C-alpha cells in the first residue's frame, strides 16, 4: 500500500514510521528483525530502509604500494525490504540514490522493486563519497534528486529510457523526498531550498519526510512556508531521541541541525549516558505530543539501527 493511502485510511490519526539501517556486510539480518519486533505493537504501517553507496579504501599491497579498493559496507536494502514485507506484512520503503548509479541502473533497480510489489520509494541524492569534498554524480547518472524524481515519475507514466520500446508497463510508485526545516547545508538560502523542494513536488513527489530536528518551531515554520506556496502533499516530521553526550557535537556536525539551549543544558548536567537517554526520550516524547496535537499525519523516527529508545517514546505517547 502507498504511504498516501495509509495516511488517507488513518482519517486524521497520527501514524508512526521508522527508518532502519541494513546490517553491515557479513552480519545477520536478525538484529534488524529484533529492532522491528520491539515496536510492532504500536502499529507501524511502513518502514524506510536506507541505501548505502559504494565507498573506497586504500589498502597496502605487495611492495608497500597502496591500492584503491571499492567496498560496500551495507548491502542488502532490496532483500531486507522484501523480507520485511513478507515477514511482517508492513510496507517497506527503499531509499533510491543518485550517487553510485547510472540512470539505466536506476531504471533496472526500479523494475526489480516493481516486480517485488514494493509500492513506495524514497528519492534522494545521497551523500558524497567519504573523503570527497563534494558530491560527484556517476557518469550517466543524476546529479540532483530532482532529476531522479522525474525519472521515477516518467516510469509511472510508462516512459522508460529506451524510447524504441513501443510499450512499457507503467510502474505505480509513491515517491517520497526529503525536506530540511533548517536548510540543506549546500543550499545558499532557505528560499532556494524551498524552491527546489516545491519543484520536486511539481515533478511528481507524493510526500515529504523531514530531516531530524529538535525544535518543533523549526518544523512549523517550514510547514507554513510550504503551505503558503500551495504545497498540499503530506509533510512528515522526522525525530530522533538523543542517547549520548557525544551526540551534542556529532549530530550537528553530521546533519547540520541546531539543538535547543534548554536541551543542551540538561544533557550537559547529566551524570552518565543513562541519564542522557532518559532526557532524550522525554524530549522526543514531548516533541511528539506537540506534533500529534498539531495534526501531523505521521511521525517518522530515525533509529540508527536501535529502537529501544523509540519504543520508550511510543510507550509514553500511546
pTM of the model: 0.92
**Torsions phi, psi for 92 (to 5 deg):** -105, 135
Q: What is the pLDDT of residue 157?
A: 96
Q: CATH no. for residue 108?
A: 3.20.20.220
Position 72 pLDDT exceeds 70: no
State mean pLDDT over 14-30.
91
Q: What is the pLDDT of residue 66?
A: 62
Residues whose CB is less than 8 angstroms from the CB of residue 140 and which lie 6 or more positions away in sequence, other chains included:
102, 103, 104
Model confidence pLDDT, tens digit, residues 56-70: 555 566 666 665 555
Cα-Cα-Cα-Cα torsion 21, 25, 26, 30, nearest 10 degrees, comes to: 10
Q: What is the largest CA-CA distance in the chain?
A: 67
State mean pLDDT over 18-25.
89
Q: Three-state DSSP class for 290?
A: helix
Cα-trace Rg, the chain = 20
Distance, in Å, from the CA atom of 250 to the CA atom of 314, rounded to the nearest integer, reads 25
Q: What is the pLDDT of residue 47?
A: 97
Contact 44, 89 (CB under 8 A): no
Confidence band of 301 (pLDDT split at 50, 70, 90): very high
Confidence band of 251 (pLDDT split at 50, 70, 90): very high
The three cell numbers locating residue 84: 520485511
Q: What is the pLDDT of residue 62?
A: 66
pLDDT exceeding 70 applies to what percent of the chain?
Answer: 92
Q: What is the pLDDT of residue 185?
A: 87
Instruction: Say which DSSP state 128 is in.
Output: P
CA 173 to chain centre: 16
Q: Which residue has the higher pLDDT, 283 or 304?
A: 283
E-strand spans in the chain? 15-20, 46-49, 55-60, 66-71, 91-97, 120-124, 174-179, 207-212, 235-239, 298-302
Q: What is the pLDDT of residue 203?
A: 97
Distance, in Å, from the CA atom of 260 to the CA atom of 248, rounded to the nearest integer, reads 10
Number of domain units in the chain: 1
Contact 284, 240 (CB under 8 A): yes
Range of the domain at 222: 3-317
pLDDT exceeding 90 applies to what percent of the chain?
Answer: 78
Q: What is the pLDDT of residue 63?
A: 63
Q: What is the pLDDT of residue 233?
A: 98
State mean pLDDT over 20-37.
90
Model confidence pLDDT, tens digit, residues 204-229: 999 999 999 999 999 999 999 999 99
Contact 179, 229 (CB under 8 A): no
Beta bridge partners of 103: none
Instruction: Say which DSSP state 224 is in.
Output: H
Distance, in Å, from the CA atom of 80 to the CA atom of 244, rounded to the nearest integer, reads 28
CA distances from 211 to 180, 281, 299 (A): 5, 18, 12
Model confidence pLDDT, tens digit, residues 117-172: 999 999 999 887 766 777 888 899 999 999 999 999 999 999 999 988 888 899 99
Q: What is the pLDDT of residue 230?
A: 92
Q: What is the pLDDT of residue 115?
A: 95
Work out the mean pLDDT of the chain and round it to a whole number: 92
The three cell numbers locating residue 204: 511528481
State mean pLDDT over 166-187.
93
Amino acid at each position: 500500500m502507498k504511504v498516501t493511502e495509509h495516511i488517507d485510511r488513518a482519517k486524521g490519526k497520527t501514524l508512526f514510521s521508522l527508518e532502519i539501517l541494513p546490517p553491515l556486510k557479513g552480519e545477520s539480518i536478525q538484529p534488524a528483525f529484533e529492532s522491528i519486533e520491539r515496536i510492532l505493537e504500536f502499529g507501524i504501517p511502513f518502514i524506510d530502509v536506507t541505501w548505502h553507496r559504494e565507498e573506497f579504501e586504500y589498502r597496502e599491497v605487495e611492495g608497500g604500494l597502496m591500492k584503491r579498493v571499492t567496498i560496500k559496507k551495507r548491502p542488502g536494502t532490496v532483500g531486507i525490504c522484501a523480507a520485511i514485507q513478507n515477514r511482517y506484512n508492513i510496507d517497506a520503503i527503499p531509499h533510491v540514490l543518485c550517487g553510485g548509479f547510472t540512470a539505466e541502473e536506476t531504471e533496472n533497480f526500479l523494475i526489480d522493486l516493481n516486480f517485488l510489489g514494493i509500492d513506495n520509494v524514497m528519492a534522494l541524492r545521497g551523500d558524497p563519497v567519504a573523503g570527497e569534498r563534494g558530491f560527484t554524480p556517476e557518469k550517466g547518472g543524476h546529479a540532483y534528486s530532482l532529476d531522479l524524481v522525474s525519472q521515477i515519475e516518467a516510469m509511472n507514466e510508462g516512459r522508460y529510457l529506451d524510447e524504441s520500446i513501443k510499450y512499457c508497463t507503467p510502474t505505480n510508485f509513491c515517491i517520497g523526498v526529503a525536506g530540511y526545516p533548517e536548510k540543506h547545508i549546500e543550499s545558499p538560502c532557505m528560499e532556494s531550498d524551498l524552491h527546489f523542494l516545491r519543484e520536486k513536488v511539481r515533478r511528481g513527489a507524493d510526500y515529504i519526510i523531514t530531516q531530524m530536528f529538535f525544535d518543533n518551531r523549526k518544523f512549523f515554520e517550514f510547514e507554513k512556508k510550504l503551505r503558503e506556496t500551495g504545497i498540499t502533499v503530506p509533510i512528515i516530521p522526522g525525530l530522533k531521541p538523543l542517547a549520548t553526550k557525544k551526540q551534542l557535537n556529532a549530530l550537528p556536525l553530521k546533519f547540520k541541525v541546531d539543538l535547543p539551549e534548554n536541551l543542551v543544558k540538561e544533557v550537559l548536567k547529566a551524570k552518565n549516558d543513562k541519564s542522557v537517554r532518559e532526557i532524550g526520550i522525554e524530549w522526543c516524547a514531548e516533541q511528539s505530543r506537540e506534533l500529534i496535537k498539531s495534526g501531523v499525519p505521521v511521525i517518522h523516527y530515525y533509529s540508527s539501527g536501535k529502537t529501544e529508545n523509540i519504543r520508550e517514546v511510543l510507550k509514553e505517547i500511546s
